Amino acid sequence: MSLVIDEHRRYLADRSRVRHYDRAVREVVRPGDVVVDLASGTGILGLLACRAGAARVYAIEADAIASLAAEIARANQFGDRLHVIHAHSSDARLPERADVVISDQIGRFGFEAGLLPLFADARARFLKPGGRLIPSRVDLVVAPVEHRRQFDRVAFWRRRPAGFDFGPVQAIAANTGYPTRLAPGQLLSEPQSGVSLDLRADAPSPLRIDRTFAVGRPGTLDGIGGWFDAQLSPSVSITNSPRDPQRIMRRQAFFPIESPVAVGAGDRVEISMRIRPDESMVSWDVTVRPAAGPSIRFTHSTLKGMLLGKSDLRMTDPACRPALTDRGVARRSVLELCDGVRPLAAIEAEVLARHPGLFASPSEAAVFVGEVVTRYTRDAS
- 177 domain residue, yes or no: yes
Which of the listed residues 60, 86, 104 is the one where a domain comes to its end?
104
Residue 342 is inside which H or E element, if any? none
DSSP label of 189: S
Provide the domain count of the chain. Answer: 3
- Residue 29 sits in a domain of what CATH number? 3.40.50.150
CA neighbor of 274 nearest in space, from 226, 206, 228, 196: 206
Instruction: Let me know whether 295 and 330 are in one domain.
Output: no
Q: Which parts of the chain sit beneath pLDDT 50?
A: 1
For residues 254-270, b (16+ Cβ closer than 10 Å) or e, as one string?
bbbbbebbebeeebbbb
Q: Residue 111: inside a domain, yes or no?
A: no
Indicate whether 304 and 341 sit together in one domain: no
pLDDT single digits (tens) 224-269: 999 999 999 999 999 999 999 999 999 999 999 999 999 999 999 9
Task: Answer yes or no: do 302 and 341 share one domain.
Answer: no
Taking the C-alpha atoms of residue 182 and residue 170, their distance in angstroms, rounded to an integer, is 23
Q: Which of 81, 104, 127 is the last residue of a domain?
A: 104
Type of residue at 232: L
Same domain assignment for residues 263 and 160: yes
Q: Are 183 and 255 in contact (CB under 8 A)?
A: no
Contacts of 177 (CB under 8 A, 6+ apart): 109, 253, 254, 255, 282, 302, 305
Q: Are 142 and 192 in contact (CB under 8 A)?
A: yes
d(C-alpha 375, C-alpha 91), whole Å: 11
- Residue range 195-221, pLDDT digits in tens: 999 999 999 889 999 999 999 999 999
Element (H, E) at 238: strand 236-239
- Amino acid 304: pLDDT: 86
Between CA 308 and CA 298 the distance in angstroms is 23
Within-domain flag for 266: yes
Which residue range forms the structural domain that includes residue 344?
Answer: 326-376
Same domain for 177 and 279? yes
Residue 176 lies in a domain: yes
How high is the pLDDT of residue 309? 63
Same domain (yes/no): 189, 259: yes
For residues 200 and 35, give the distance between their C-alpha atoms in angstroms, rounded to a whole number: 16
Same domain, 219 and 247: yes
What is the pLDDT, as a whole number, of residue 293? 87
Residue 45 lies in a domain: yes
pTM of the model: 0.86
Q: Is the dihedral of CA 161, 166, 172, 174 positive or negative?
A: positive
Is 110 within the bounds of a domain? Answer: no
What pLDDT sits at residue 195? 96
The verdict on residue 314 lying in a domain is no
Decide if 49 contacts 23 (C-beta within 8 A): no
In terms of domains, do 188 and 96 share one? no
**266/149 same-domain check:** yes
Please tell me whether residues 45 and 99 are part of one structural domain. yes
pLDDT of residue 221: 98
**Which long-range contacts (C-beta less than 8 Å, at least 24 apart) are formed by 87-92?**
87/60, 87/62, 87/378, 88/60, 88/62, 89/38, 89/39, 89/60, 89/62, 89/118, 89/121, 89/122, 90/121, 92/58, 92/60
In a shared domain, residues 278 and 146: yes
Same domain, 292 and 335: no
Residue 317 within a domain? no
Burial annotation 145-179 (CB, 10 A radius, 16+ → b, else e): bbbeebbeebbebeeeeeeeeeeeeeebbbbbbbe
pLDDT reported for residue 166: 93
